[in-house]
Structure 1
Amino acid sequence: MSAGANPLRGEAELRIGENMHVLRPSFAALVAAEEELGPLFALVERAAGGGLRLGELAALFWHCLRERPAGLTREAVGEAVVAQGLAAVTPALRMLLGQIVRGR
């Protein structure tokens, strides 16, 4: 596992199983998320209005993973969100959405 998240780069941490993983909203990650989820501004609006779906949240986290160790699945990301609850993953979501809106 690499070094922790750098908030100055818009990174956040997400616990998946026993390990902490870094979420980095890089250009490539956000393009991939947008291709799957639609326009990012609409995603931000849905989140602000309480309409962000669990699948969308898991997809955004999946695409923004800085590293994907062998064996890590998208389903594991979704299960980690469910296991921790929305309140626990909201800081990571807030960081990513903030980077989408503000940029670096």
Structure 2
Amino acid sequence: MTGQANPARGEAVLLVAGEALVVRPSFAALVAAEAELGPLFALVDRAAAGEMRLSEMAALFWHCIAARPEALTREQVGEAVVAMGLAQVSPVLKCVLRQVLIGASA
């Protein structure tokens, strides 16, 4: 899914290869991320301590992209994170981690 994110639903936009992709931390997406990355509370703790790895961030985003374009690769997501830099990607991460901790309001 490309386009507008609804912050009230815990969504954010990640720019990958010039395309605005909606990152939606749904239950299914978070379960998939947790299966790969381990407990989400531990991931949140690592992020809060400044110890979250780039690979973890890219994996979390990969699982949470609402409608992944067929041609999109996981490597492109990682490259987009690097290209955007931590300052620009932090709001997207914050949105996802907020969803993990307190859920969406709508």
Question: Is 2:73 the partner of 1:73?
Answer: yes
TM, length-normalised to structure 2: 0.95
> 3-state DSSP class of the match of 2:20?
strand
Give the C-alpha shift of residue 60 in structure 1: 0.2
What 5-or-longer segments of structure 1 have no aligned partner? none
Report the Cα distance in structure 1 between the residues aligned to 2:12 and 2:5, rounded to whole angstroms.
5
Question: Are the structure 2 counterparts of residues 19 and 2 from structure 1 closer, same or farther at C-alpha, using a change threshold of 3 Å?
Answer: closer
Question: Normalization by structure 1: what TM-score?
Answer: 0.97
* Residue 3 (structure 1) shift: 3.8
The residue type paired with residue 37 of structure 1 is L
Q: 1:83 to 1:3 in 2, by over 3 A?
A: closer
What stretches of structure 2 of length at least 5 have no aligned partner?
Answer: none
2:93 match: 93
RMSD: 0.9
Q: Tell me how far apart the structure 2 counterparts of residues 69 and 84 of structure 1 sit (CA, whole Å).
A: 20
Q: SS state of the match for residue 13, structure 1?
A: strand
Paired AA for residue 44 in structure 1: V
1:2-81 alignment runs, 5 A limit = 2-81=2-81
Identity, % of aligned positions: 63
Q: Would you identify which runs of 4 or more consecutive aligned residues in structure 1 move more than 4 Å?
A: none
Would you say how many aligned residue pairs link Structure 1 and Structure 2? 104
Alpha-carbon separation, structure 2, partners of 1:41 and 1:12: 20
Q: In the TM superposition, what whole-angstrom CA distance separates every residue of 1:41-84 from its partner, at most 9, and x where no partner exists? A: 00000000000000000000000000111210000000000111
Post-superposition offset of 1:34: 0.2
